[in-house]
Amino acid sequence: MEENKSEVARLMQQITLDYQAAQRGLTGLASGSATHAFIAAKMERMSNYQKVLSKLVGPQEAIILLAQAAQKGEEEGQV
């Protein structure tokens, strides 16, 4: 059970970081297809994290956790 908690915490941190990176890709200096590819890759990784979370905590809780991590990324990214 403790292993699941630490894995969930690790995934949440990674989702937050990837969300922030994707946000920077949207608002940064890069443009065009490179930016699109970068953001698409980050979103794909977040989708994979959501799948892992679903196995650990169930699909509904995984969606809630993903939204919370994205919100945290949004808030921390505004600093």
The whole-model pTM stands at 0.72
pLDDT band at 79 (very low <50, low <70, confident <90, very high): very low
Q: How far apart are CA 1 and CA 24, in angstroms?
A: 35
For the chain, the domain total comes to 1
Owning domain of residue 44? 2-77
Give the pLDDT confidence of 29-55 residue by residue, as tens digits.
655 666 778 778 888 888 998 999 999
Angle at 56 (CA atoms; ends 50, 62), nearest 5 degrees: 40
Q: What are phi and psi of 43, to 5 degrees?
A: -65, -40
Do 28 and 35 form a contact (C-beta atoms < 8 A)? yes
Cα distance between the two ends of the chain: 34
